[in-house]
Amino acid sequence: MTEPANGNGPTHGDGRVRRIVIENCAVATVDAHGTEHTDGHVVVAGDLIESVGEGRAPAGLENVVRRVDGSGHLVTPGLVNTHHHFYQWLTRGLAQDASLFDWLVALYPVWARIDEDMVRAAARGSLGMMVRGGVTTAMDHHYVFPRGCGDLLGAEIDAARELGVRFNPTRGSMDLGESDGGLPPDFAVESTDDALAATEEAVDRHHDPSFGSMLRIGVAPCSPFSVTTELLRRAAELARRKGVRLHTHGSETVEEEKFCHERFGMGPTDYLDSVGWLGDDVWMAHCVHMSDSDIAAFARTGTGVAHCPSSNARLAAGIARVPDMLAADVPVGLGVDGTASNESGELHTELRNALLVNRLGPRKEKALTARESLRLGTYGGARVLGREREIGSLEPGKLADLVLWRVDGIGHSSIADPVAALVMGAPAPVTLSLVNGRTVVEDGRLANADEDLIAREARNEAGRLARAAGSEG
């Protein structure tokens, strides 16, 4: 390690491109052929990957500002998270033994007390935890906007910028309160017009569609049981008018399926299809209860799935049919989901959980391989976010988002296959993580933020939220 973490921008003051050379490491590129190198190299030039291959880096490279000896390491593309709710960082460990609807009903009154400072602390905690575990592209689905709560989306964006992570947040919404037949209490929802106006404003203010963008906004009404049909329809129109992506929860539980059949006379996928919500610009979280025709509809339209195995297990929602989706070429990525239903808040452990949970399904040991699991967490996630030409694999010309995992320590040194060590073994330490060629993790610690401070702030803000909910709830 030859250079401090900060001050490592892609070019010198004179505009010459800076190179980082990583050598002597195993490399899993996760390209279309699954190319791997047992003793390879990666060269980063500015914010892009310049070369990847077996053996040492090409000789004679200029402006090499850092050489990394990757002995004992596996290099992979950075992990891509496709579903989260940062604010839940402050309400972890509650309703520990509930299923989804009971869990939501228990937590809505607490969530309705959040404000900007709380969301900032929660975002820093959520992002910090993921980044130190190899996430280089994060997303968030925020849908609780109490009156007078401040700029919640702005607080999340500031946190992502500080940590240096690529960010695809979505402006969520709920407009179907209890008195109209929805699940959330009336005080937790917005009006349809207010939700749409705020969503459009968020897109206009923040969305950057350019190649290599660090910030893309999506449109994300919460779920079929918390938003009106009108909001879904108009949100789809808004997203397509603006050229941004659509996201929601779909087919998560049997209760949701029952709700849709009773209220709309059809299942969640047919209902979402009827309001314009299938397409290659849409991805949905969970998709646990999918029929063969639902999976065929997702495949036909290119609709993506955020698979969240830990959250689905925590809430006893069921096992998504990921092997069937992959066989049909449905785009599938991995998601942490909100940490009120997945207290660990990590994505690298979801590589292992996805493999294990899916092997409990009908395909048993043939369900997922370690390499398929790694693909879900990298290229699969990039495809779900519509960013597969920029990130998700290590190939020349793609953005330099990559992770060096240490696989020669006590937890992994006796596992001969480095990909199996990463996916099936204990959580591997991150020695170095780059986003756009800039350091975000160095020797297992966040490079751009103080982890102990993040932990203290999260505890303080969680206490403040608990007191606010207790005194007024």
> By the criterion CB under 5 A, which residues form the site for Zn ion?
285, 337
CB of 338 vs Zn ion, minimal distance in Å: 5
Q: Which is nearer to Zn ion, 285 or 334 (CB)?
A: 285
Q: Which is nearer to Zn ion, 124 or 247 (CB)?
A: 247
CA pair distance 412, 42, nearest whole angstrom: 22
What spatial distance separates the first Cα and last Cα of the chain, rounded to whole Å? 51
Q: Which is nearer to Zn ion, 171 or 398 (CB)?
A: 171
Select from 224, 242, 241 the least CA-distant residue to 174.
Answer: 224
CB of 87 vs Zn ion, minimal distance in Å: 11
Q: Which is nearer to Zn ion, 173 or 436 (CB)?
A: 173
Q: Are 64 and 20 in contact (CB under 8 A)?
A: yes
Main-chain dihedrals φ then ψ at residue 369, nearest 5 degrees: -95, 170
CB of 308 vs Zn ion, minimal distance in Å: 7
CB of 223 vs Zn ion, minimal distance in Å: 8
Positive or negative: CA dihedral 440, 442, 444, 450:
negative
Q: Which is nearer to Zn ion, 176 or 404 (CB)?
A: 176
**In 191-321, which residue ranges form alpha helices assigned H by DSSP?**
192-206, 229-242, 254-264, 268-274, 292-301, 309-314
Q: Which two tokens stand for residue 345?
A: 């808040």
Contacts 24+ apart (CB under 8 A), 179-186: 180/228, 181/263, 182/225, 182/226, 182/227, 183/101, 183/104, 183/105, 183/225, 183/226, 184/104, 184/108, 184/226, 185/108, 185/109, 185/112
Q: Which is nearer to Zn ion, 141 or 348 (CB)?
A: 141
Q: Which is nearer to Zn ion, 287 or 432 (CB)?
A: 287
CB of 111 vs Zn ion, minimal distance in Å: 12
Q: Which two tokens stand for residue 46?
A: 């500015």
Select from 436, 374, 438, 375 the least CA-distant residue to 407.
Answer: 374
Q: Which is nearer to Zn ion, 281 or 337 (CB)?
A: 337
CB of 313 vs Zn ion, minimal distance in Å: 14
CB of 392 vs Zn ion, minimal distance in Å: 22
CB of 142 vs Zn ion, minimal distance in Å: 11
Residues 6+ apart with CB under 8 A from 314: 341, 342, 343
Residues across the chain? 473
